[in-house]
Amino acid sequence: MNVEPSEADRAVRRMLTELGDTWAVVGLSRNTGRAAYGVAGVLQRYGKRIVPVHPKAETVHGERGYASLADVPFPVDVVDVFVNSALAGAVADEAVAIGARGVWFQLGVLDPAAYARTRAAGVEMVMDRCPAIEIPRL
């Protein structure tokens, strides 16, 4: 049986294979117990350059951190969002403002209005998925 991939599945594939390899991970700190830490490590193992974005601006996985997306002094391809849903929409708006090509809301991060705004701006978006789960499937 041949099942046509959903739009969300196609967006996942595009973000992981076509949009670029510089991924800002918003909410990433040196806290090894947080999901962001492990996911960023998986992204690195698959050849992505991770950019930690956290108010503490910590160096994580050998990459210099920045306090905000606006502070990153080079282009970011995808913004991976590890903040709660109430804060995620503002991060998506910042991602659009800095010219990111994709926004990825992690598992449990949902904001349909932010999804609609981001897509209306012509930016790819995935919501409630995890790239560490998806990338090995490609």
pLDDT tens figures, 109-124:
999 999 999 999 999 9
pLDDT at 41: 97
Mapped onto helix, strand or coil, the DSSP state of residue 112 is helix
Q: How far is CA 100 from CA 63, 93, 116, 122, in A?
A: 19, 10, 16, 10
Structure-derived torsion over alpha carbons of residues 41, 42, 47, 51, reported in degrees to the nearest 10: -40
pLDDT, tens digit (0-9, with 9 covering 90-100), for 29-70? 999 999 999 999 999 999 999 999 999 999 999 999 999 999
The span from the CA of 1 to the CA of 75, in Å, is: 41
pLDDT band for position 2 (cuts 50, 70, 90): low
pLDDT at 138: 82
Q: How far is CA 17 from CA 12, 28, 114, 131, 135, in A?
A: 9, 22, 23, 11, 9
pLDDT, tens digit (0-9, with 9 covering 90-100), for 60-101? 999 999 999 999 999 999 999 999 999 999 999 999 999 999
Indicate if the pLDDT at residue 1 is higher than 80: no
Indicate if the pLDDT at residue 3 is higher than 60: no
Mapped onto helix, strand or coil, the DSSP state of residue 40 is helix
The span from the CA of 111 to the CA of 126, in Å, is: 11
* Token pair 């002094």: residue: 73
* Token pair 């449990």: residue: 108
Cβ pair 72, 53 in contact under 8 A = yes
End-to-end CA distance of the chain: 19
Indicate if the pLDDT at residue 132 is higher than 90: yes
